[in-house]
């Protein structure tokens, strides 16, 4: 059983929090301290981004974090070292150019050996994932696939069958980034995806989720987890100005998100017929 699956089973569907940080932002040493704060805050899974020069799925906040990390000299190897010290399950978010340039099997082997439990590769189309999924499965690494609001029935069914670890449901059109409000129709989108994931694979919702009330709502609507990234990264940006108290703020913020996930799950359970 993968560590990601164990994490979901451990909380019994009680609303997982997946927290994203950019590896090496603002530098590798400080990035490790950020992750420690996120762990103390109660994140169930930590998603670590590998900085890349052309991050097509990322909005302004995460793009800027990637620039800071690259300027500090962060390399994929540094991010793997950061990942090796994380106590909760780790998911790497990377673009396929990085994987391909190092060799698919070699990259997956090194990631596994450093304690990485899953990968998200947003620029790899479903039709081109077969070799990647096969290699990941053989090495015990979850290949986490994404679905979007535009995903139709046949494709959603296929993604739900082929993803492992969880299905990453993108809640809106566009790139990552904080939003004041959740996308309209998020409840219907979650229920649509749950038709294919329910009883098979956890469903986690990301993109545009930045407030505890956002987390509460997506879990209450049926998601097994919420993914929060840009709102954490925005706080980390202040570390570049030497504001040490930011680490405590990150911890408290993550704690508030996790509490919201628990509350959302409790509200969902109370609505179930007895």
Query: How much helix, strand and coil, in percent to the nearest 5, is found in the chain?
Result: 50, 15, 35
Q: What is the mean pLDDT of the chain?
A: 92
The domain tally of the chain equals 1
For the residues 202-226, what does the mean pLDDT come to?
95
In a domain, 254, yes or no: yes
For the residues 65-79, what does the mean pLDDT come to?
96
In a domain, 223, yes or no: yes
Which residue did the predictor score with more confidence, 13 or 69? 69
Reported as a pLDDT band with limits 50, 70 and 90, residue 178 is: very low
Coil/strand/helix, residue 167: strand
pLDDT at 177 over 50: no
Q: What is the CATH number for 238? A: 3.20.20.70
Query: Which of the residues are catalytic?
Result: 47, 58
**HEC string for 174-187:** CCCCCCCCCCCCHH
What is the pairing mode between strands 118-120 and 225-228?
A: unpaired
* CB distance 166 to 201 below 8 Å: yes
In a domain, 259, yes or no: yes
In a domain, 232, yes or no: yes
Tokens of 265: 């799950």
pLDDT at 180 over 60: no
For the residues 227-231, what does the mean pLDDT come to?
93
Question: What is the tens place of the pLDDT at every residue in 141-169?
Answer: 999 999 999 999 999 999 999 999 999 99
Instruction: Find all residues with CB under 8 Å of 94, minimum gap 6, and list them.
Output: 49, 50, 52, 76, 119, 120, 121
In a domain, 133, yes or no: yes
| Number of other residues whose CB lies within 10 A of the CB of residue 125 | 8
pLDDT at 244 over 80: no
User: Which residue range is the domain that position 115 belongs to?
Assistant: 13-144+212-270
55/9 Cα distance (integer angstroms) = 32
In a domain, 164, yes or no: no
Point out the least confidently predicted range of 54-63, 96-105, 260-269: 54-63
Q: Could you give the C-alpha distances from 32 to 64, 86, 136, in angstroms and in order?
A: 18, 8, 26
For the residues 49-75, what does the mean pLDDT come to?
91
In a domain, 174, yes or no: no
Reported as a pLDDT band with limits 50, 70 and 90, residue 101 is: very high
In a domain, 117, yes or no: yes
Tokens of 249: 């703020």
Dihedral sign, CA of 11, 82, 215, 225? negative
* CB distance 132 to 145 below 8 Å: no
pLDDT at 85 over 80: yes
């Amino acid at each position: 059983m993968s560590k990601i699956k164990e994490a979901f089973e451990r909380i019994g569907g009680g609303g997982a929090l997946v927290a994203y940080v950019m590896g090496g932002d603002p530098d590798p040493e400080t990035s490790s301290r950020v992750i420690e704060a996120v762990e103390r805050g109660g994140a169930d899974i930590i998603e670590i981004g590998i900085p890349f020069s052309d991050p097509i799925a990322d909005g302004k906040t995460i793009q800027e974090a990637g620039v800071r990390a690259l300027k500090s000299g962060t390399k994929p190897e540094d991010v793997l070292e950061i990942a090796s010290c994380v106590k909760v399950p780790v998911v790497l978010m990377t673009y396929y150019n990085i994987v391909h340039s190092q060799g698919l099997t070699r990259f997956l082997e090194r990631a596994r050996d450093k304690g990485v439990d899953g990968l998200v590769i947003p620029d790899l189309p479903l039709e081109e994932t077969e070799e990647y999924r096969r290699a990941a499965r053989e090495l015990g690494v979850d290949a986490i696939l994404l679905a979007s609001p535009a995903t139709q029935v046949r494709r959603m069914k296929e993604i739900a069958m082929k993803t492992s670890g969880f299905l990453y449901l993108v809640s809106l059109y566009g790139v990552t980034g904080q939003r004041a409000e959740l996308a309209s129709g998020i409840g219907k989108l979650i229920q649509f995806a749950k038709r294919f994931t329910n009883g098979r694979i956890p469903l986690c919702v990301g993109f545009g989720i930045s407030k505890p009330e956002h987390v509460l709502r997506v879990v209450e609507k049926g998601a097994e987890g919420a993914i929060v990234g840009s709102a954490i990264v925005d706080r980390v940006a202040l570390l570049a100005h030497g504001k040490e108290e930011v680490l405590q703020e990150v911890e408290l913020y993550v704690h508030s998100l996790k509490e919201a996930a628990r509350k959302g799950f409790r509200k969902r359970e109370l609505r179930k017929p007895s």
